[in-house]
């Protein structure tokens, strides 16, 4: 007959008799601690923490830390006799066993629907996270197989130090990224202004009902009613409204700039969260930034709000005027970004000086056309594009100070025959010709929108994959360690919880 395990003896002890495990392998970021604090405040302590005979926490470090932050004097514990390797193994297994479980999306959604607004906020699962849970693959049945899950849980300490984990995959689909992006847009950034309308060449019907011209693959829909009509009858279709000014527009996937949102005019909008990370990671505080392909206002405004001095070049006077008008409102109490009208091939004479960061996002061939100016790269053939593009990069590289970084955000785009023009490789060749070394690469994974709705026909017809990423290429001029030293310490708090620069409590 099996022996009945001894009953747990729960004690109430003083917090000052306990101490956190200095070797705890589980990091507790601020979001995690806030969730524990909120739970303790609302529900009280519903399960004891596990401690050893000397008051060292074996399981429940986050609970003890949150209780201290709340000013508690006592807490419930159970004592374990486990020691040595068994104590260490139990501490790891206690965290790992919960990690290996998976949400049932339908049951979770049903349970959340029963909660009032206060409790829904307390459990801290928003609609974007619920969508990601529904789309996530099931966890592996084998320990150590596959991805360990959400970076917010597994890389919290890195996010606390660097704003986001400095990995080669940046996931703009995460809820915190989208909320941060909405915060930036909420300042009044309208990067699509000044670029005319219909830069992506929508027909008049497309602008009303959501379809692009047949010679440019992709689909745009505007308005929740149009989206609902498209999704009617489909279960769990992943169509997520964009976070830009046109809040009910969503990009339904194409081979244009997949890491930017598009507004009602069919014009791309650069991601301000990516801007923030690039400036904080690769540009010294107060540094000078040069951007030979300025386009809209985002990179300039974010730079100014972060205390960087930005100079951007654009061919079109109306674009510069629109950017300056926005900056006059959004950056009125601080540094003002500077935009110059001219041909970027003349950047060396237009933007005289030496700069701390070269940062830009070039046009992707003729995918976006803003006018008929023959100097505009979007009006050029691919060979002519490459020649002008290389000349601009070479001239811009001469403006960069020694021991500094450059960052270009690019993506390959398709030719008329369906093959790719390799803008990534062309960018690397141009920078290396300019004396810079290819130093880092990253992939920015973006919200798919309704790409799943069209990728089946695209894949079955021609084996084209649905594109939902963009390439981030980092180059260095000179010594990367000295370039890093020039940028200074990268310690500014998790972007998920950090106030926007210029807001109360926000730094630069």
- Other Cβ atoms closer than 10 A to 451: 23
| Closest C-alpha among 302, 300, 355 to residue 324 | 300
Could you give the C-alpha distances from 155 to 148, 175, 216, in angstroms and in order? 10, 15, 39
| Closest C-alpha among 151, 104, 96 to residue 130 | 104
Q: What phi and psi, each to the nearest 5 degrees, are found at residue 131?
A: -65, -45
31-37 contact pairs (CB < 8 A, 24+): 31/124, 31/152, 31/156, 31/176, 31/494, 31/496, 31/497, 32/62, 32/153, 32/156, 33/62, 33/65, 33/66, 33/69, 35/124, 36/62, 36/63, 36/65, 36/66, 37/66, 37/69, 37/70
Q: What is the pLDDT of residue 383?
A: 93
Strands of the sheet containing 288-291, edge to edge, are: 169-171, 437-445, 469-477, 400-410, 355-360, 288-291, 309-314, 338-341
Decide yes or no: CATH 3.90.1530.10 for domain 10-99.
yes
pTM: 0.61
Are 252 and 450 in contact by the 8 Å Cβ rule? The answer is yes
* Lookup result for tokens 């990423």: 469
H helices within 293-346, ranges in order? Answer: 298-305, 317-330
Q: What is the pLDDT of residue 154?
A: 47
Counts of helices then strands in the chain (DSSP H, E): 19, 18
DSSP-assigned letters across all residues of 270-306 = --HHHHHHHHHHHS-TT-EEEESS--SSHHHHHHHHT
Q: What phi and psi, each to the nearest 5 degrees, are found at residue 315?
A: -70, -30
What percentage of the chain's residues is helix, strand, coil (to nearest 5)? 40, 20, 45
| C-alpha span between 52 and 55 (Å, rounded) | 5
| Closest C-alpha among 254, 199, 250 to residue 223 | 250
Q: What is the pLDDT of residue 507?
A: 56
| C-alpha span between 492 and 159 (Å, rounded) | 9
| C-alpha span between 76 and 183 (Å, rounded) | 40
pLDDT in tens, the chain (508 residues): 556 667 789 999 999 999 999 888 888 888 889 889 999 999 999 999 999 999 999 999 999 999 999 999 999 999 999 999 999 999 888 888 877 777 887 788 888 889 888 888 888 888 777 776 766 555 544 434 444 444 444 456 777 778 888 999 999 988 888 888 988 888 888 877 765 544 444 433 334 334 343 333 333 333 333 334 333 333 333 333 333 323 233 333 334 443 344 443 444 579 999 999 999 999 999 999 999 999 999 999 999 999 999 999 999 999 999 999 999 999 876 799 999 999 999 999 999 999 999 999 998 766 666 667 788 888 889 999 999 999 999 999 999 999 999 999 999 988 888 899 999 999 999 999 999 999 999 999 988 766 777 788 889 999 999 888 999 999 999 999 999 999 998 766 566 566 677 555 555 5
CATH class of segment(s) 169-174+270-446+463-487: alpha beta
| C-alpha span between 371 and 315 (Å, rounded) | 10
Can you give the residue ranges of every domain in the chain?
10-99, 105-149, 169-174+270-446+463-487
| C-alpha span between 134 and 240 (Å, rounded) | 13
């Amino acid at each position: 007959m099996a022996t009945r395990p001894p009953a747990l003896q729960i004690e109430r002890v003083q917090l000052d008799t306990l101490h956190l495990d200095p070797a705890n392998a589980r990091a507790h970021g601020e979001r995690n601690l806030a969730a524990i604090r909120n739970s303790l405040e609302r529900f009280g302590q519903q399960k004891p923490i596990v401690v050893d005979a000397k008051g060292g926490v074996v399981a429940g470090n986050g609970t003890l830390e949150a209780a201290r932050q709340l000013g508690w004097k006592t807490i419930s514990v159970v004592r374990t006799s486990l020691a040595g390797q068994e104590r260490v193994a139990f501490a790891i297994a206690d965290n790992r066993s919960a990690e290996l479980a998976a949400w049932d999306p339908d049951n979770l959604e049903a349970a959340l629907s029963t909660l009032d607004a206060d409790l829904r906020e307390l459990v801290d699962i928003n609609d974007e996270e619920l969508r990601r849970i529904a789309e996530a693959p099931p966890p592996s049945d084998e320990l150590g197989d596959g991805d360990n899950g959400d970076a917010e849980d597994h890389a919290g300490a890195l996010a606390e130090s660097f704003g986001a984990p400095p990995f080669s995959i940046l996931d703009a689909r995460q809820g915190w990224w989208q909320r941060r992006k909405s915060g930036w847009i909420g300042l009044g950034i309208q990067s699509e202004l000044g670029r005319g309308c219909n830069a992506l060449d929508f027909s008049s019907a497309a602008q009303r009902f959501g379809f692009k011209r047949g010679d440019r693959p992709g689909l745009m829909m505007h308005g929740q009613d149009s989206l609902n009509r498209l999704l009617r009858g489909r279960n769990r279709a992943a169509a997520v409204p964009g976070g830009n000014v046109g809040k009910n527009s969503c990009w339904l996937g194409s081979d244009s700039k997949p890491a930017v949102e598009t507004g009602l005019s069919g014009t791309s909008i650069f991601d301000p969260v990516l801007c923030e990370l690039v400036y904080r990671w690769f540009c010294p505080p107060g540094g000078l930034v040069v951007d030979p392909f300025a386009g809209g206002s985002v990179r300039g405004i974010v730079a100014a709000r972060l205390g960087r001095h930005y100079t951007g070049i654009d061919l079109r006077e109306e674009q510069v005027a629109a950017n300056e008008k926005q900056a006059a409102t959004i950056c009125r109490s601080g540094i003002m970004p500077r935009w110059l009208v001219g041909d970027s091939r003349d950047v060396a004479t237009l933007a005289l000086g030496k700069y701390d960061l070269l940062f830009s996002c070039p046009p992707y061939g003729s995918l976006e056309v803003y006018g008929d100016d023959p100097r505009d790269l979007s009006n050029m053939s691919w060979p002519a594009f490459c020649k002008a593009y290389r000349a601009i990069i070479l001239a811009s590289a001469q403006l960069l100070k020694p021991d500094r970084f450059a960052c270009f955000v690019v993506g390959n785009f398709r030719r008329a025959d369906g093959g790719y023009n390799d803008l990534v490789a062309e960018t690397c060749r141009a920078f290396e010709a300019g004396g810079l070394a290819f130093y880092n690469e990253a992939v920015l994974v973006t919200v798919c929108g309704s790409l799943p709705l069209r990728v089946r026909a695209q894949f079955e017809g021609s084996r084209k994959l649905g594109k939902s990423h963009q390439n981030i290429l980092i180059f260095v001029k000179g010594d990367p360690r000295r370039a890093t030293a020039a940028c200074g310490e990268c310690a500014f708090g998790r972007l998920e919880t950090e106030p926007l620069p210029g807001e109360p409590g926000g730094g630069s």
